[in-house]
Amino acid sequence: MEYNILTLLHNAETATATLPTREQIAEKYKWNLKDIYESDEQWEIDFQWTEERLKRYQEFNGKLSESAEKLLGCLKLDEEIGIKLERLSLYAMLAKDSDMRESKYHSMDDRIKNLYAKALSASSFIKPEILSIDEKILDKWIKENDSLKTYQHYFDDIFRSKPHTLDSDKESILALSSEIAQVPYNTFSIFTNADMKFPFVKDEEGKEIQMSHGRYYAAMYSKDREFRQRAFKAYLTPYKEYVNSLNSLFNGNLRSNIFYAKVRKYNSAREAALSKNNIPLSVYDNLVESVNKNFAPMYRWANLKKELLRVENLHPYDIYVTLFDQKYERKYPYDDAVEIVLNSLEIMGDDYISSLKKAFNERWIDVYETVGKRSGAYSSSTTYGVHPYVMLNWTDLLNDVFTLAHEMGHNMHSYYTGLTQPFHYANYSIFLAEVASTFNESLLLEYLIKNSNSREEKLHLLERYLNNITSTFYRQVMFAEFEKIVYEKTEQGEALTPEQLCELYASLFQKYWGPSMIVDLEESFTWARVPHFYYNFYVFQYATGMAASETLAHKVKSEGKPAIEKYIEFLKAGSSDYPINVLKKAGVDMNSSEPVLSVTKKMNSILDELENLL
């Protein structure tokens, strides 16, 4: 028997029921991998072809400076192999994630990763040899050869990194040391996820439970404030107890990134991290400075939370709990959610909507949880010549609707990029990655608020919007400011003690939440548990992504067609230009305060609407 939408209500009542197998799911709710390969046998044919093709790199090794034809021939070979590798990888990944019990696809996934490594090794001569070509000669080749002209930005980006590229022997040493550089994060991850033991606490019903990462997050949404407090203190206790070890790992990670920055002749670790995508330091600084001038909406939200919770002061364990009754919450079957998402994005015009419908109707999406399927959700990145895919695990909850809108934002970004750009530009940087996804979420939330059926539903949606801004924007900027300060102090020769880190984190938390918040001692140890602090200036991009998407959403709603056309061009741009320039062409200047003000103005307008309903 096939499961249809009515029988797949993965909610609280059916959570203990046996999961369906993939065979029991209607075909239209499963992704169609035949768009990539007709069969596993076809995959094997391409795998063997690609493995054999790697030998051809030797024809070009040491010869790229001989002529434009040699250079172009090598680039075309590299693209040819790259296209096959991406296609092979996508098929293996999706087949594996469809049923994690199937060892065959794990093996295929491992094989393609190994083939990728071989390809990287075989092609490692390309960029160093391009850098060895006299730039005047390269410019002459580009002018005289139309086929090379499309690579202009590609070459520019390679030469941009020339002052920070070492000779081959030193590059080889740095490459060998990269595994050592991962020790602080790997040890942190193993220690906090596997070895760290959390204490027991009494839950809302008085039962003894051992705290864990998952139980902590669930507890922060509990209506029982005393339980939230117990869970909060219990969860952070091990970080307090092992703070010296965690401090050593934290400082080891800082010093590792500072070492690499110095060796590559950057002025700071932050400059080195941002240089990968050619992001000016001024963008980072402007984000932090602009937010520091616009705390008023956060303080307003904190004060309102305090009033509605009827507490004398807010504490960190009061941040996530809903302020309103949850009984109203409705279910969202997948087919209904598709219509909601389409309606919310109708403003984007016929081309965008027809592309979305193509994804929904042509089985780009794997919808339901099945036995052995990977958990979570994602959209595959751009795979040249193949449409992107989306994985979901639908449970009929509101969160699923937002996940659908979010992942379809990524999906359309990858689809338009792959449709428009040549292979060497058919991707986009992490700095741009969350713009299209949060743009869709913003339009969806506004649509749901506008079409809410009751005051209670509207209050929940408004609260969700405010919590999104709090966690995705303000909190990430707070993390970014913390990261900026600790690197600067370390680069100035300071040895950061646990006490200093706790004091710094607590002071920033107080600054971002304002006078309504009491910062408990336990919260000051949060720096020791955040894995993103090991990602080397990564978190600020969550905030810039949201700021850019709010700016673009506002422009689309207020300016109409011209802004929509610019947004579609943004989706098509890929990596054909630096991300800052791609955003600027779409109408967002990340060096200005306008994107930050878009978020703060939105927060104030949502607060106005919420207060009017109370």
Q: Give the residue numbers annotated as catalytic, written as ranges.
A: 407
Distances (CA, A) of 260 to 187, 265, 431, 536: 20, 9, 21, 12
**10 Å Cβ neighbour count for 377?**
17
Spacing of C-alpha 587 from chain mean position: 22
Q: In what order do the strands lie in the sheet with 378-379?
A: 365-366, 390-391, 378-379
The sign one gets for the Cα dihedral 400, 406, 410, 412 is: positive
Cα dihedral 446/449/452/458 (nearest 10) = 160
Number of C-alpha atoms within 13 angstroms, CB side, residue 343? 13
**10 Å Cβ neighbour count for 27?**
8
Identity at 245, one-letter amino acid code:
S
Cα 235 from Cα 219, distance rounded (Å): 10
Query: Interior CA angle at 140 toward 136 and 146, to 5°?
Result: 145
Could you tell me which of 47, 170, 65 has the C-alpha nearest to residue 119? Answer: 47
Cα 597 from Cα 583, distance rounded (Å): 16
Q: Yes or no: say if 598 and 551 are a contact pair by the CB < 8 Å rule.
A: yes
- What's the full length of the chain, in residues? 614
Could you tell me which of 355, 379, 383 has the C-alpha nearest to residue 366? Answer: 379
| Structure-block tokens of residue 322 | 């809903």
Strands 365-366, 390-391: parallel, antiparallel or unpaired by DSSP?
Answer: parallel
Could you tell me which of 205, 210, 252, 206 has the C-alpha nearest to residue 231? Answer: 210
Spacing of C-alpha 579 from chain mean position: 15
Cα 481 from Cα 537, distance rounded (Å): 10
Q: Which residues pair with 314 in a beta bridge?
A: 517
Identity at 547, one-letter amino acid code:
A
Identity at 290, one-letter amino acid code:
S
611: left (phi over 0), alpha (psi -120 to 50) or beta: alpha
Cα 449 from Cα 469, distance rounded (Å): 16
Residue with token string 């364990």? 317
Kindly give, in sequence order, each residue whose CB lies less than 8 Å from that of residue 391, ignoring residues fewer than 6 positions away: 31, 94, 97, 365, 366, 374, 376, 377, 378, 379, 407
Cα 233 from Cα 239, distance rounded (Å): 10
401: left (phi over 0), alpha (psi -120 to 50) or beta: alpha
| Structure-block tokens of residue 16 | 């203990």
DSSP count for the chain of H helices, then E strands: 26, 5
